[in-house]
Structure 1
């Protein structure tokens, strides 16, 4: 096997290790534009043509197309402890970082190191797949297919939204679980979508669909002329990065109960922390988002001012991480420490330009709205909306 003619079976194995669960391949032409031809990955490999796939959640893929970016890539490989794969693709290089559940934090870090948003790719040609101009492709470090597969990890298994979440999205809180708190209902939806390896743009589309009663808070904010887009991103931030983890709450509660709370202020702070743990457990989130009046009621404290002071002290002392409300009239979120504090606002510019992906129809029926046009999907750099027009090929 030469550097310019990799074995098709090796290309297929590498592509399966890169592509998201249930993903297909999109052929691209010599101008790096979508041909509109969707097919299973195996058929794309057999075609011998250049193709792109949307990468799985555990990977961060960087398109290093200048000497400066290649230099930053070298620094990343030397300083990151996570496994990396460097691939030569014509005159450029592609760098894959296996980030596991820490993708958002890794994206934030590489952006801080000088990698631009457009170089962090959601869609990319898999390692050793044909270059659109027939230029050489090769594995640089590690240099063997077996070692590259170890870096990329096992193929991603499909994960779907459970029926109760789809019902919550479509019909709202029919059981009274959220006691009228539509913000926490939206957080629960976001958490479930994160567990299903879905994306912020997909959550934005769910919240923007007027037929989804579970998104009624977003619809109200939009009708009132408020900044609904920022509210949606903040809600996504407050949701769990890797799904709801009740262990975070139990560990926090144990620390609260064993801590030496001193004086009247200490007793108040302890009551507020226990109240937040109770609210977090009830609403399945480690970022409870409630007004100070509700917290005061659960903590059995007299005034909202007392709760505000306690929240400020607890945030300063490291018990909580405050996520400010997107606009006046909405409640701040307070993440129990032990969860990630990387935010979508820090990472939402990582290569997705259109902000609306349509998921496989097997996931959601009609709950996600795609507003991307055919013109968007034919973007020369295949950055925006390329998976919207195509059905999933089984």
Structure 2
């Protein structure tokens, strides 16, 4: 009988960081997502989303296994073969990401249905749903762990991320703008070092209310994939030149400056809201609408508009016009000359 601790170790070496496991019943239907340790402790079948450095394949015929062998031989990368009940599973370690491996697999005739990197797979030695025998092929548990590589390290995601992804705009920070919410999720993931494949997974997961924009596009037959790629690319631009130290310098300048009267207090609150949005979303140019800023700063839309105009005039911000209809303008954070000797402008994205 397979040691449960071995299953746990192998599963941790396979699973993508910050994801759960899907329990599977005898009819091969999903029974809900649970923490990985709970899935292992259940003693039943479960699948996980593989980490980005593993290309995984489900090979259910002798012909597909033969093609998998050809792929393995041609790559020369660490590979683990598993008898997983009725099927054979192949795990190929690829530190540069799975997409190039899948392209190579396609070129030799492996159909996309075999690719499991974005669909989920049972970890090595985890139980089959019908109790069929499972085993590592030509490798010990320790050798398998070496092939699979170490577990992914935790990603540094902002505190709002998990709840926004699962519940959507729970605090009203995006003012109902689901495109901006999708961009914020992409920016946070990009800043944390995640990939387009990671973003595609969370946005196409129907349980994530933060991805409602994508789900609606899918339901309407619109090109949701194009939206995902476009949003990710935009997030890359907004996070590429992010300078957290500069944002902190702006915040310190705001907090140490004298803001006179009620109007000055409003301007200070709006600047601090912009600094917070810049940090939370990992972007040098916060691109959230007046409503979002008003909620963040705790004031009316009209007060925020007046404050933004004054801040731009005083040299605290530089307005970046939106490049499309329905999109919010951005604001680069500045430190007016004479207030600080720090650089006055964040690098252009």
Normalised by the size of structure 2, how large is the TM-score? Answer: 0.53
1:328-343 map, 5 Å: none
What is the rounded CA distance, in whole Å, between the counterparts of 1:186 and 1:33 in structure 2? 29
Give the match for residue 200 of structure 1. 200
Give the match for residue 126 of structure 2. 129
- The verdict on how the C-alpha distance between 1:80 and 1:188 changes in structure 2, with shifts beyond 3 A counting, is farther
Give the match for residue 8 of structure 1. 4
What is the rounded CA distance, in whole Å, between the counterparts of 2:285 and 2:40 in structure 1? 46
- The verdict on how the C-alpha distance between 1:114 and 1:86 changes in structure 2, with shifts beyond 3 A counting, is same
Give the match for residue 98 of structure 2. 103
Give the match for residue 155 of structure 1. 151
Give the match for residue 55 of structure 2. 60
Segments of 5+ residues of structure 2 without an aligned counterpart are 242-282, 287-324, 326-349
Q: Give the SS at the match of 2:98.
A: helix
What is the rounded CA distance, in whole Å, between the counterparts of 1:54 and 1:28 in structure 2? 14
Give the match for residue 227 of structure 2. 232
What is the rounded CA distance, in whole Å, between the counterparts of 1:172 and 1:27 in structure 2? 34
1:171-190 map, 5 Å: 171=173, 190=186
Q: Given the alignment, which residue of 24, 29, 38 partners 2:20? A: 24
Give the match for residue 367 of structure 1. none
User: How large is the Cα RMSD of the aligned pairs?
Assistant: 4.3
- The verdict on how the C-alpha distance between 1:231 and 1:77 changes in structure 2, with shifts beyond 3 A counting, is closer
What is the rounded CA distance, in whole Å, between the counterparts of 1:184 and 1:46 in structure 2? 39
CA deviation profile, 1:129-184 (whole Å, cap 9, x unmatched): 1112222211114x111111111111123325336987xx97569xxxxxxxxx99
Give the match for residue 287 of structure 1. none
Q: Give the SS at the match of 2:58.
A: strand
The reply on whether 1:45 has 2:32 as its aligned counterpart is: no
- The verdict on how the C-alpha distance between 1:13 and 1:189 changes in structure 2, with shifts beyond 3 A counting, is closer
Segments of 5+ residues of structure 1 without an aligned counterpart are 174-182, 247-280, 285-328, 330-394
What is the rounded CA distance, in whole Å, between the counterparts of 2:223 and 2:210 in structure 1? 9
What is the rounded CA distance, in whole Å, between the counterparts of 1:62 and 1:87 in structure 2? 10
What is the rounded CA distance, in whole Å, between the counterparts of 1:18 and 1:114 in structure 2? 25
Q: Give the SS at the match of 1:123.
A: coil
Give the match for residue 371 of structure 1. none
Deviation at 1:62, TM superposition (A): 0.6
What is the rounded CA distance, in whole Å, between the counterparts of 1:192 and 1:80 in structure 2? 33
What is the rounded CA distance, in whole Å, between the counterparts of 1:151 and 1:235 in structure 2? 35
- The verdict on how the C-alpha distance between 1:201 and 1:144 changes in structure 2, with shifts beyond 3 A counting, is closer
Q: Given the alignment, which residue of 135, 138, 141 partners 1:138? A: 135
CA deviation profile, 1:227-267 (whole Å, cap 9, x unmatched): 653541441563688x9667xxxxxxxxxxxxxxxxxxxxx
- The verdict on how the C-alpha distance between 1:227 and 1:134 changes in structure 2, with shifts beyond 3 A counting, is closer
Q: Give the SS at the match of 2:97.
A: helix
Whether the aligned pair in 2 keeps the contact of 1:130 and 1:137 (CA below 8 Å) is yes
Q: Given the alignment, which residue of 66, 74, 79 partners 1:71? A: 66
Q: Give the SS at the match of 1:6.
A: coil
Deviation at 1:38, TM superposition (A): 4.5
Give the match for residue 93 of structure 1. 88
CA deviation profile, 1:74-121 (whole Å, cap 9, x unmatched): 011101133211111123210011223422222233233322222212
Question: How many residue pairs are counted as aligned between the two chains?
Answer: 230
